[in-house]
Structure 1
């Protein structure tokens, strides 16, 4: 049941009596944040139509997109084609998201390994003051030059602490889930953050 249901409301969040699907999202906001370092996540994602798993970070200061978003991993449909993404976003002059995107068709991974969806994979982010590098199983997917990620007010959202989010969305960019078999699993083995100890 939708606890916020209001009959006749135009907002889709209120106009539905019940949810057709449930999903989950966890994040470390207010519990753990970090600035620069190396993040590794070992996970197995479900690549079924309708699913939209992600590993990402958001800056602790300013509203989106001025706070900065780093998509260590997103998996969804781009023009109907299953795609792995590695992105960063910040604000443009109109306060909309400006993206540095890498979009790799999922078919490229299946050509190399038809059993890819059944396996765990390691996503890694290397983050310094000068760049963000995003990897999948040691393959560099995207390198973001942080001299170019400055909001119109001069604030660079990638020179501030970020917190981590892991989620599995359903529908939206993931495609139509109505013919997919549920329940679905997004299995996370570990999330690790490494930083240099300046005392050594």
Structure 2
């Protein structure tokens, strides 16, 4: 993997997720990025028994995975991003392709979820979203598309074993999110203005790829067999 473009996250990060992010769970094999989720105990190097922070008060992680991003190394504003990937749709897994704006804290920086897969009210779901700031700290406004995964399985029962193409078309006016050329969500950027007047989708964003496990949305992975693999064939960004 090209370290001129990509960096790794380490440890517990967000959403009360169960995995410990570490570099060794990502490798390039046969020209593809393979992110592996494992069931294994990893000692929490930040452990503090008395802490109220979930990132610190767990002595061990019971799972490991990887999360990579281009922060500070590669950013882009507008254009087309394409990611060809194969996701595992087992219970407890939460793979994602997303971007974050380079300035301001979340959600004022803007978040674009080109792909998320997790369970919504127990139902497997593909999501395509954008988030920006609402009134009050850490409050987000969302433009969500939630498509039941069963819709994709009805069209193709072999869907989980195949690679699929996620695409974002981003202009000053809109963000369009596609899966295999099907438009899942169109976000009107006239509406995505933070309370202070800043539009987080009129600034450069960086790219994140990760496989989360459990947490607020991933579901319970305890009955899932591991290891699990999230394969990325390529990430491409085009400008007009």
Fold conserved between structures, TM > 0.5:
yes
Matches within 5 A, 1:51-200: 51-95=93-137, 96-172=139-215, 173-196=217-240
* 1:19-38 Cα deviation digits (max 9, x unpaired): 10011100000100000000
Q: Which has the higher contact order (CA 8 A, sep 6+)?
A: 1
- Alignment correspondent of 2:62: 20
Cα deviation for residue 107 of structure 1 reads 0.4
TM-score, normalised with respect to structure 1: 0.96
Structure 1: segments with no counterpart, 5+ residues: none
In structure 2, the gaps of 5 or more residues are: 1-42
Q: CA RMSD in A?
A: 0.8
| Structure 1 position 15, deviation (Å) | 2.1
For residues 37-62 of structure 1, the C-alpha deviation after alignment (integer angstroms, 9 at most, x for no partner) is 00000000010000000000000010
SS at match of 2:61: coil
| Structure 1 runs of 4+ with >4 Å offset | none
Mapped to 2, the partners of 1:10 and 1:154 lie a distance apart of 35
Alpha-carbon distance between aligned partners in 2 of 1:12 and 1:60, rounded to the nearest angstrom:
26
Distance 1:4 1:39 in 2: 36
**Alpha-carbon distance in 2 for matches of 1:8, 1:63:** 27
- 1:12 CA displacement: 2.4
With over 3 angstroms needed to count, the CA separation of the structure-2 counterparts of 1:94 and 1:12, relative to structure 1, is: closer
Once the two structures are TM-superposed, the CA of residue 9 in structure 1 deviates from its matched residue by 3.1
Q: Which has the higher strand share?
A: 2
C-alpha distance in structure 2 between counterparts of 1:90 and 1:176, whole Å: 28
TM-score calculated relative to the size of structure 2 = 0.80
Aligned residues: 196
Q: Does 1:39 align with 2:81?
A: yes
Distance in 1 between the 2:44 and 2:146 partners?
35
Q: CA deviation at 1:94?
A: 2.1
